[in-house]
Amino acid sequence: TRKDYKSFFETSKVRQVMSTPPVCVRPHARIGEAAGVMLAYKVHRLPVVDEAGSLLGIVSRTDIFQPLLRKKESIMGSERRLWINGSFPDNSFVDLDGFDSLASVEPDFFSFEETPMAPWQVKYLYDGDCNLCMTLVNMLKRRDDEGKICFVNLRDPDYDPSLNEGITFEQGMDTIHVIREDGSILTGPVALQELYDEANLGWIQRIMQIPVFS
């Protein structure tokens, strides 16, 4: 009951609930070894002691894993930039920076999920704030069953010209741009025709070229 808990906290001594002997590490222990000890003994902190057993400090899980989490976030940000620009990484990894004794660490702790992507044939640079552009994007996505078209939003904060044949935001906004897999660049009506062809909609452009419709 609540009364029992209150009595327990008021009358019980720390020595009644403490873990003994304490699980400690020496200051020269490797980070990976400390991480393995924490996981093996299911503790969140380790006293750091010298040869005489005197307390030098305390190392916590946060001390050990926070740098890796920041590194993981950095890598994820870099990978997002690649994905947003259609440069899909072949694989994902985290450099453990000396974490060479993690035999007892869960193998999935540092891993990323990887989703294989089909190779694209053309890359369409579009304006995500343009209603007409988005209508075209949605139509192409519905017809592009084989994933031949890679869609790159010029307005995404991670848009990178260096990953798109040097095409700047301003150039992309000036006219429609399509990049072929071989790096060649198409603009204007030729680019639009390429998109239609890849989405099996080439007949639309060809009909529009008939004198009666033009």
Look at the pTM and tell me if it is higher than 0.95.
no
Q: What is the 3-state secondary structure (H, E, C) of 78-144?
A: HHHHHHHCCCCCCCCCCCCCCCCCCCCCCCCCCCCCCCCCCCCCEEEEECCCCHHHHHHHHHHHHHC
Report pLDDT for 36. 85
Among 44, 45, 50, which Cα is nearest to 29's? 50
Report pLDDT for 97. 36
Tell me the pairing of strands 185-187 and 177-180: antiparallel
Which residues partner with 124 through β-bridges? Answer: 151, 178
Q: Is the pLDDT of residue 167 over 90?
A: yes
Residue that wins the pLDDT comparison between 207 and 7: 7
